[in-house]
Structures are given as structure tokens and as C-alpha cells.
């Protein structure tokens, strides 16, 4: 696997306060990454620097092995869909798609038209007159139809309803399977996108807290469901991240590996295993109790 993004010690300060602090990571080709973190954590700033739209205060960025600033060969291979994207006042949806076609070498016009139909986008309407959800849909269409080797979505679903969001997720997975590329999804709706993600980067207060494969991450905790009394006995002495009770039935998310012995122990008590929620895990990991990256990536 080759790294297509390499960020080293990236820092961005605004008038004395650091929005991004000493962040280093690498992204491999043809994977879907989740850039997660709370609002204001520094995710958007990092993406702006990756795409040479903002300047780093210090540190290095290499995209496709080169510095992105004013670099034709890098910039023509990326597509950054951001929540704050501006459009010219007179532009219609059709205009946006036409210009996108000129800027993205892999642009698939038929696919773009198909997607625009799926989201019910009015092609002749001015972009500035679109609702928030429709505006997000324009970004989603451009991002998917660009088929850019590095496609970045920054909170792409604002204002999209649940149906439209699931169209986005489904289309992304479908198209990704046919045309593999590297995708970065920046979001705070972790549970919704967790089935898409292969790797997670977690940013908190400008720092990288976690850089981990989702598979390994899911292995770090497990969930058990069963009668409350038996569950309590089972989790005694274990590290419980979350516990929920519904009548006599309770579930608990437990930190640690679900090894053979744990499974046997649970089975003896009549408890069932369930997949752990990425969101719960991440909330816990950023809660400060296990906040250090070193502590969990070893």
C-alpha cells in the first residue's frame, strides 16, 4: 500500500491560538477514512490545508508525494466538498456541474445526471436559492461524479434528510466498489457512517487522538446483552463504557478483547454478544479516561 497523503507535524495558529497542533498521519490509497471529532476540533482546517486553500503555520504536507500548493498535478486529482463552499451568484445547478466537468479529469457526466435525479435536484435553479439540504446534495453529486483519486467530504449531509443521507451512503459505497479511490469523510455523525469507514482519524482540540483501523478499533471493546442480574455479575471487575437497561434486559459495552474465555463466560450466563458502537467507543476514548493516543495504539 502506498501513502497518498503524508502529513508531518502540521500546525495552524490563528493569532496565538492553535487550531491544529502537531498533527501527523498518513493515508493509504483506496481506503475510506473517517476524520472524526467534535465541531471546532480542527477537522475543516486540516482539510483546507491538505487542499492548499489555507496555509500551514508549520509542518509538511505531501499529497500524491508532492506539496499541493499551486500544484496542478495534485489539485487536479482532488475534490474537496466543503460545507462552506461558495458559488457565484448567478450559477445554476447545471452551471456547477458543467464547470466541475472541466475541472475533474475523471468526471462522469451521465453519473452526475443520474445522481442529480436521485436527489431531485432542479438543474435550472440558482444555487443560492437552494435549500440547505439541496445545497449539500449539489456537493455530494460533484464529489461522487468527480471520481477524484482523493475525494474529501466535509460534513456533506447538512440539511439532508435520512432518506437522502442513505442515498449518499449507498451511492458512495457502490461507486467506490467500482471505482476505488481514497475518500475522507469528515463528520460528527459517527454511527451513521461507521459502516462505510475503514480507518478512523480522531481529532480533538486540534490534536490527533486516534489513528486506527476500524476493525482493530471494534476489537478493542464488545457489547453484551442479557438479563440485568446476570449481566451485572458478568461485568463485575470489567471496564464498562456504557450500560443500558430496558426492563429486565440490559446491555453493556465493555472495554477489552472478546477472547474465547470471555465468550465462554458470557455464554454460561446466557448473555449474547452484539457489535460495539463506534460512536460509543469514540465518545469514551475522547472522554479523557483513555485519552492518550499512545495508550490505545500500542
Instruction: Enumerate binding residues for other proteins (CB under 8 A).
Output: 48, 51, 53-55, 70-72, 75-76, 78-80, 82, 85-91, 95, 98-100, 102-103, 105
Smallest gap from residue 72 Cβ to other proteins (A):
5
For the chain, the DSSP string reads: --EEEEEEEEEEEETTEEEEEEEEEEEETT-EEEEE--TTSSHHHHHHHHTTSS--SEEEEEETTB--TT-HHHHTTEEEE-TT----TT-BHHHHHHHHHHH-TT--HHHHHHHHHHTT--TTSBGGGS-HHHHHHHHHHHHHHH--SEEEEESTTTT--HHHHHHHHHHHHHHHHHS--EEEEEES-HHHHTTT-SEEEEEETTEEEEEEEHHHHHTTEEEEEEEHHHHHHHHTTS-EEEEEEETTEEEEEEES---HHHHHHHHHTT-EEEPPPHHHHHHHHHTTTT--HHHHH-
Query: Of 54 and 218, which has the nearer Cβ to other proteins?
Result: 54
Shortest distance, CB of residue 290 to other proteins, whole angstroms? 36
* N-to-C CA span, the chain: 21
* Closest approach of other proteins to the CB of residue 73, in Å: 9
Instruction: Select from 214, 154, 209, 211 the least CA-distant residue to 183.
Output: 154
Residue 241 CB, shortest distance to other proteins, in Å, is 39
Q: Rounded to the nearest whole angstrom, what is the least distance from the CB of residue 63 to other proteins in the complex?
A: 11
Rank residues 17 and 298 by Cβ distance to other proteins and give the closer one: 17
Give the residue with the Cβ less far from other proteins, 72 or 178: 72
For the CB of residue 116, give the shortest distance to other proteins in the complex, in Å: 17
Kindly tell me which of 88 and 259 has the beta carbon lying closer to other proteins: 88
Is the Cβ of residue 62 or residue 262 nearer to other proteins in the bound state? 62
* C-beta closer to other proteins: residue 26 or 98: 98
Closest CB to other proteins among residues 107, 222: 107
Q: Smallest distance, Å, CB 53 to other proteins?
A: 4
Amino acid at each position: 500500500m502506498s501513502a497518498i497523503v503524508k502529513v508531518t507535524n502540521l500546525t495552524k495558529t490563528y493569532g496565538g491560538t492553535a487550531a491544529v497542533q502537531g498533527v501527523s498521519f498518513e493515508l493509504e490509497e483506496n481506503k475510506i477514512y473517517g476524520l472524526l471529532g467534535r465541531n471546532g476540533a480542527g477537522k475543516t482546517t486540516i482539510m483546507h490545508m491538505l487542499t492548499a486553500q489555507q496555509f500551514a503555520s508549520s509542518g509538511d504536507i505531501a499529497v500524491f508525494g508532492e506539496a499541493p500548493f499551486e500544484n496542478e498535478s495534485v489539485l487536479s486529482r482532488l475534490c474537496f466538498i466543503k460545507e462552506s463552499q461558495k458559488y457565484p451568484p448567478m450559477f445554476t445547478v447545471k452551471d456547477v456541474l458543467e464547470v466541475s466537468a472541466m475541472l475533474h479529469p475523471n468526471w462522469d457526466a451521465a453519473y452526475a445526471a443520474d445522481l442529480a435525479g436521485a436527489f431531485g435536484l432542479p438543474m435550472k435553479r440558482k444555487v443560492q436559492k437552494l435549500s440547505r439540504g439541496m445545497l449539500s446534495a449539489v456537493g455530494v453529486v460533484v464529489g461522487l461524479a468527480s471520481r477524484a483519486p482523493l475525494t474529501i467530504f466535509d460534513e456533506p449531509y447538512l440539511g439532508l434528510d435520512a432518506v437522502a443521507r442513505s442515498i449518499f451512503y449507498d451511492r458512495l459505497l457502490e461507486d467506490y466498489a467500482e471505482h476505488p479511490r481514497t475518500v475522507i469523510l469528515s463528520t460528527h455523525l459517527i454511527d451513521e457512517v461507521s459502516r462505510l469507514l475503514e480507518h478512523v482519524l480522531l481529532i480533538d482540540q486540534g490534536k490527533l487522538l486516534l489513528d486506527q483501523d476500524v476493525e482493530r478499533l471494534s476489537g478493542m471493546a464488545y457489547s453484551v446483552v442479557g438479563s440485568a442480574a446476570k449481566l451485572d455479575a458478568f461485568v463485575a471487575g470489567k471496564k464498562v463504557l456504557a450500560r443500558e437497561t430496558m426492563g429486565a434486559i440490559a446491555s453493556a459495552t465493555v472495554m477489552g478483547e472478546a477472547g474465547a474465555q470471555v465468550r465462554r463466560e458470557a455464554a454460561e450466563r446466557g448473555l449474547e454478544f452484539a457489535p460495539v458502537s463506534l460512536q460509543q467507543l469514540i465518545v469514551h476514548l475522547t472522554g479523557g479516561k483513555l485519552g492518550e493516543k499512545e495508550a490505545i495504539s500500542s
